[in-house]
Amino acid sequence: MEHAAASEDSWSAAGAFLKDDVLDQTLISRAGESASVPYQIQQVIDALGASDDPAMLGRLAGYEISGVIGSGGMGVVLKAHDRPLDRIVAIKVLAPHLATSGAARQRFSREARAAAAVLHPNVIAIHGVNTDAALPFLVMTYVGGTSLQKRLDQQGALPVVEILQVAWQLASGLAAAHEQGLVHRDIKPANILLDQGVERLVITDFGLARAVDDASMTRTGIIAGTPQYMSPEQAGGESIDSRSDLFSLGSVIYTMCTGRPPFRADSPFGVLRMITDRAPRAIRELNPDIPDWLCSVVEKLHCKDPDERFQSARELADVLAACLAHVRQPLVNALPEELRSTKRGRVPLMVALGVVLSIGLLATGYAWWNSGEPHSEAVSSSATVADDSPAVDKRNVSTKHPDPSPATDFAKADSQPQDTVTEEHPSEPGLFPEEEIDAWDDQLDPVLNEIQRSLENMQSL
């Protein structure tokens, strides 16, 4: 790896980047200054100019620095007040030990240009940059929340509706970047900042972003990115395109579903081998509450062959938007057509359950039939139903799912003329639309999951 880096500067920059997995989100301010400030942060603070406001840590090119948001291998992020525009901003300062590295400065400049080229609510906005200063810095929108990584560390797996909210916004932001010809190459929870819970997020750290037609994008043998969230082609040092980001997004969704990354090993090279050669553990083995159709979305994103994945972030965003609408209002919004078949993945279990219920009903009916109760008058020798019994119109009965409002239909049956059920009246398709069936299926998921676990326990005895 050191040989591939080609120079000490490149090797130093690469090493710092690989350590830059999670940003330390501890805020340091003048009021709460501690004696145990990390050395890198202290270096940046010492490099600040004096401020006429005693509450500030210092001044940087006209910005009043009020605190330190966090730090990582590549630099320090400061919280600042932009006096001319009277707004709070975040300033990312290149780490002092990298400021003398030409490769690090180049990456820093590239990050500013790449992010500034994308104007989208889910992509961090760049307000300014200075790559000629002793400590290069770029000025960004301040996001008051936390990273998705920290949220996962604190709470583990997210609820399905929040998973979809995050995934849809990620896909939308990536679509905007891809449509500008950029590939992010480092999509991971630590580079996703949450604002107002999961209602709004922004994608950050475009330091590895490249134009699709950039020569370095097609150079083989060069590996850049965070191992656990790389695509197979990225892990293999092959040429990549925007579909590589979609594989990484699939890994982020997997992590939100299970609370852990999909590919884990004892070493980075072990992780890379798993990404290229193996499929991750099934999501529902780790979290049975995740619906089958969401698992199928992740599985498609995790296809080793880019041609078998979703072909654009825009296509994925549209699918995720429809899924989110379905989860929020299942009776009103149907799942996308391509995902509906995955909801029938437990057909054998449902059939088995139906057989058990049918046997129980038959046994009950047989016992009643042989209980000695008079029933001869209740049975007519003709095909018609007795006048004093409400008729049942098979055309209004779904053969797959029960009516969720039986009392309403019974009332209608009592007040309307009844048809005779004969062979001349074949049953028509079910009364209920597909979206209602999907909604009931979602509501049955927890029950079916519990039954499935019980059956598996019985089989293991």
Domains of the chain from N-terminus onward: 2-141 (3.30.200.20), 146-343 (1.10.510.10)
DSSP state at residue 38:
-
Mean pLDDT score, 371-381 = 48
Is the pTM value of this prediction over 0.75?
Answer: no
In this structure, of 204-213, 239-248, 277-286, 292-301, the range with the lowest mean pLDDT score is: 204-213
Question: What are the two backbone dihedrals, phi and then psi, of residue 330, each rounded to the nearest 5 degrees?
Answer: -65, -25
In this structure, of 25-29, 202-206, 357-361, the range with the lowest mean pLDDT score is: 25-29
Which residues are 93's β-sheet partners?
76, 137
DSSP for 248-287, written as a single string: HHHHHHHHHHHSS-S---SSHHHHHHHHHH-PPPPHHHH-
Question: What are the two backbone dihedrals, phi and then psi, of residue 211, each rounded to the nearest 5 degrees?
Answer: -70, 145
For residue 166, the one-letter residue type is V
> Is the predicted pLDDT of residue 400 greater than 80, yes or no?
no
Per-residue confidence (pLDDT) for residue 40, from 0 to 100: 85
Which residues are 140's β-sheet partners?
90, 126
Per-residue confidence (pLDDT) for residue 38, from 0 to 100: 84
pLDDT (tens digit per residue) in 288-315: 999 999 999 999 999 999 999 999 999 9
Torsional sign, CA 108, 112, 117, 120: positive
The Cα–Cα gap between 10 and 20 comes to 15
186 is catalytic: yes
Mean pLDDT score, 231-236 = 92
> Is the predicted pLDDT of residue 345 greater than 60, yes or no?
no
Q: Model confidence at 402, in pLDDT bands (50, 70, 90)?
A: very low
Mean pLDDT score, 152-173 = 97
Nearest to 243 by CA among 318, 191, 316, 188: 316
The Cα–Cα gap between 248 and 1 comes to 23
Total length of the chain: 461
Phi-psi region of 204 (alpha: psi -120 to 50; beta: other; left: phi over 0): beta
Nearest to 78 by CA among 55, 97, 58, 96: 58
The Cα–Cα gap between 274 and 265 comes to 8
Evaluate whether 108 touches 138 at the Cβ level (below 8 Å).
Answer: yes
H and E: helices and strands count for the chain: 16, 12
Mean pLDDT score, 126-145 = 91
The Cα–Cα gap between 41 and 329 comes to 48
Two tokens at 206? 């475009």
CB atoms within 10 A of CB 57: 22
Burial class (CB in 10 A: 0-12, 13-18, 19+), 448: middle
Q: Which of 24, 53, 82, 186 is catalytic?
A: 186
Evaluate whether 245 touches 253 at the Cβ level (below 8 Å).
Answer: no
322 vs 33, higher pLDDT: 322
What's the Cα-to-Cα distance from 251 to each of 41, 206, 226, rounded to whole Å?
A: 32, 18, 12
Burial class (CB in 10 A: 0-12, 13-18, 19+), 258: buried
Nearest to 23 by CA among 149, 154, 173: 149
The Cα–Cα gap between 294 and 163 comes to 10
